[in-house]
Amino acid sequence: MLKVLKFGGSSLADAQQFAKVKAIVEADESRRVVIVSAPGKRFSGDHKITDLLYLCAAHIKYGVSCEEIFDMIRTRYLEIVHDCGLKLDLNPDFDALWAKMQEGIEKDELASRGEYFSARLMAEYLGYEFLDAAEWVKFRFDGTVDTDATYEALRRAAGDRSVVIPGFYGVMPDGRIRTFSRGGSDITGALAAAALDADVYENWTDVSGILMADPRIVDDPAPIRHLTYGELRELSYIGAQVLHEGTIFPVREKNIPLNIRNTNEPEHPGTTILESIEEDTNDGSFITGIAGKKGFSVITIAKTGMSGDPGTLVRILEILAKHEVNVEYIPSGIDIISLVVESKKVSKCLYAMLGELQKEVQPNKITVTEHIAVVAAVGRKMAYRPGVSGKIFAKLGENGVNIRMITQGPEELNIIVGVEEKDFAQAIRVLYDSFVKEHI
């Protein structure tokens, strides 16, 4: 059994958080591979180490001294060393880094040092070996990861050892350090789990899993216990603040369960994401999660005979594609079609596009409805279950939410309704209170 763990910045903010990480790792001997972020904020108003490093890079770029910021960074680490009772003397490393910064250091390399020092400290604290990400996370020149080479290199470098690895960065073919985009330690963790064929990838953060709805809208929403990768994709596409898809493809590809956990509440099982889930479909709510987004416009085109002429739809979509407008949903009726698009993407080209549609398609009518929000109820248990959409529409109607549009994906994994933006929060609350709360 092998568990690969990744700890985010808030789990490493200070010695107290380091101690929690140690307790979690020591509680299970299969937790042998640990990926760490750079220390994050200790309290609101505090600074993330990575932000401070980028700030240094900006100062260097414009020739302004960043000595004070650099001292803040050094002090943060030295405090952790002291408070955790570690022996490691980081001063020579910081002095060498400072010297390199005077000569001109690349931004990525400087930013990567947050994770690097964090991993060195954690390795000593856990009694694990430090394994540098630059030894195995292999980027191509185009910035993509060469997964085959990466997996092979990690297998060779890690063997059966217990190791701590810095997240967020890897190495280019010419030996230079390159970072992922912000939050990229999640990717390092997923790559490590995939390379080592881990039994589970535990992603430790400061929330007890993915919540069933946005806590800014619903009071104290319950976390989702189990979720499929398909559902995760639906929820994140439509606005839920969850892991970015790019961060999970390595584990998804290998069918490794991803478990999101809370360092501050380690006994909570969190959310487990799996490729497929076998369970009693009649148990619990048929909704796994609710998400939504504001800021959509609906372009509705009516043209007699359109249903019998597939060329019309092609022409419409070509015009939108020409303006680089992505169509999110296409609810349609006989001789009438609606295109749901993000308002900010059409704002500049709307009139030009409508003009072209008028000319090329010669519709009977084109209308544009703005300030539309989409709300999605996502759930694998909705598939092929009669009556689900009826129940949803009825509840929304009873609660005064006017549905402007309805669409459902062919896999019946979601039911999406378009509502006026003013009804957005109410629609989410109604769905949560009617279909989720009563099952908890």
Binders of ligand ASP among 44-73, rule CB under 6 A?
48, 50
128 vs 168 by CB, closer to ligand ASP: 168
Residue nearest to ligand ASP (CB): 185
CB 8, min distance to ligand ASP, A: 6
37 vs 259 by CB, closer to ligand ASP: 37
Residue 288's identity, in one-letter code, is T
Please identify which residue in 70, 114, 338, 431 interacts with ligand ASP, judged by CB under 6 A.
114
38 vs 119 by CB, closer to ligand ASP: 38
24 vs 287 by CB, closer to ligand ASP: 24
CB 38, min distance to ligand ASP, A: 4
167 makes contact with ligand ASP (CB under 6 A)? yes
37 vs 228 by CB, closer to ligand ASP: 37
Please identify which residue in 13, 38, 131, 210 interacts with ligand ASP, judged by CB under 6 A.
38
10 Å CB burial of residue 68 (0-12, 13-18, 19+) is exposed
Max intra-chain CA distance, the chain? 80
155 makes contact with ligand ASP (CB under 6 A)? no
Number of H helices, E strands in the chain: 14, 17
Nearest residue to 170 (alpha-carbon basis) of 206, 195, 205, 199? 195
104 φ/ψ sector (left φ>0, alpha ψ -120 to 50, else beta) = left
List Cα–Cα distances, 63 to 67, 96, 99, 101, in angstroms: 12, 19, 15, 11
123 vs 357 by CB, closer to ligand ASP: 123
CB 183, min distance to ligand ASP, A: 4
Instruction: Show the tokens assigned to 94.
Output: 């910081």
Please identify which residue in 5, 9, 101, 250 interacts with ligand ASP, judged by CB under 6 A.
9
DSSP 63-114: T---HHHHHHHHHHHHHHHHHTT-----HHHHHHHHHHHHH---HHHHHHHH
CB 425, min distance to ligand ASP, A: 30
CB 315, min distance to ligand ASP, A: 44
CB 414, min distance to ligand ASP, A: 29
Please identify which residue in 70, 168, 201, 432 interacts with ligand ASP, judged by CB under 6 A.
168
Q: What angle do CA 430, 411, 377 make, to 5 degrees?
A: 10
Torsion sign (Cα): 242, 247, 250, 251: negative
7 vs 424 by CB, closer to ligand ASP: 7
CA atoms within 13 A on the CB side of 357: 27
Contacts of residue 121, defined as CB under 8 A and 6 or more positions apart, other chains included, come to: 18, 77, 80, 81, 84, 86, 88, 90
CB 295, min distance to ligand ASP, A: 26
CB 438, min distance to ligand ASP, A: 37
CB 28, min distance to ligand ASP, A: 23
Instruction: Show the tokens assigned to 399.
Output: 């609660």
CB 175, min distance to ligand ASP, A: 21
133 vs 339 by CB, closer to ligand ASP: 133
203 vs 259 by CB, closer to ligand ASP: 203
Q: Say if residues 166 and 135 touch (Cβ distance below 8 Å).
A: no
203 vs 300 by CB, closer to ligand ASP: 203
Write the interaction track for ligand ASP spanning residues 173-212; mark x where CB under 6 A is met and - where it is not: ---------xxxx---------------------------
CB 41, min distance to ligand ASP, A: 10
Please identify which residue in 37, 262, 271, 312 interacts with ligand ASP, judged by CB under 6 A.
37
Query: For residues 383 and 281, what is the distance between their CA atoms, to the nearest angstrom?
Result: 10
112 makes contact with ligand ASP (CB under 6 A)? no
Instruction: Show the tokens assigned to 283.
Output: 């148990």
Q: Are strands 258-262 and 271-274 parallel, antiparallel or unpaired?
A: antiparallel
Query: For residues 435 and 367, what is the distance between their CA atoms, to the nearest angstrom?
Result: 34
What φ, ψ does residue 237 adopt, rounded to 5°?
-60, -35
Q: Which residues bind ligand ASP (CB under 6 A)?
A: 8-9, 37-38, 48, 50, 114, 167-168, 182-185
